[in-house]
Amino acid sequence: MDPRVRCVAVDLETTGLIPGHDRIVEIGAVAFSPAAGVEAEFAELVDPGIPIPPVASRVSGITDDMVRGRPTVAGSLPAFLAFLGDAVPVAHNAPFDVGFLAADAARLGLAAPSTPVVDTRALARAVFPDRRSYALEALCRELGLARSAHRGLADAHSCRMLFLACLERLGAAGAGTDPADLASIGGPVIDLAARAPAALATVAGLSRAIEGGADVEIAYESARKERTFRRIQPLSFSVVGGSPAVIAFCRLRGERRTFLVDSIREIRAV
């Protein structure tokens, strides 16, 4: 990587784990280059428009009082995208942050850059193998970097330092550090322009059903590619194996079942 390349490390705090259903409550980002160091910072609390669940507040320390009167994501996201510009985006567990940013950009009709995102979690797995944990806080502790604090800007700085530590290790080993190559480590390349969840409309339909206590009909595809049609009453969202899922009462089976959102091929209101 050209040491003069502008990079932006970003971290979000949210009300939950499901893009399109849960909301952003803080955006933290730091612009830097390997040669010049930190160039600028972006830190903004965001009013999610809904109460912040206690479990989310315990993680980040962000409360309803702190976000009351702050800009909504409609005001914050354009400012962040302008800050990002054409820089190389860097995030830890990038699918999470990028999923939220892309979902809101799609919902608001904002143009998002197609620059590949470097995931420092995937990068650290390749560069520092056999670690007990690849959580940002654990990696920072083991590598002697500043600890993450579960706040946007602090975690963005931790992500920046982890990225630079990975670059240093790769450079010492004589490995390539082209941004496109770094972004492809660990799986398919992701970017804000293409990352808007394909299931965004499905999540929105499930969210409305949860709020209204209503049933919906879904076409569900199993792991064996078998499609069944179910009438369900969505109850809540969850995460199964890193993927969003909905817990619902299945009228066909007469019991609660968990359905992966990405396996719901069709949804319609009853």
The residues annotated as belonging to the active site are 150
Reference 165, options 145, 187, 136; nearest CA is 145
- Cα gap 180→117, rounded to integer Å: 8
Buried b (16+ CB within 10 A) or exposed e, 146-161: eebebbbbbbbbbbbb
Sign of CA dihedral 231, 233, 235, 236: positive
Helix axes 94-108, 120-127, angle to 10 degrees: 160
Backbone torsion region of residue 254, taken as left when φ is above 0, otherwise alpha when ψ lies between -120 and 50, otherwise beta: left
- Cα gap 206→154, rounded to integer Å: 34
The set of residues, in sequence order, having a beta carbon less than 8 Å from that of 235 and lying 6+ positions away, is: 210, 246, 247, 248, 249, 256
Reference 13, options 45, 53, 49, 42; nearest CA is 45
- Cα gap 213→126, rounded to integer Å: 45
Element (H, E) at 63: none
13 burial type by CB count under 10 A (0-12 exposed, 13-18 middle, 19+ buried): buried
- Cα gap 230→233, rounded to integer Å: 10
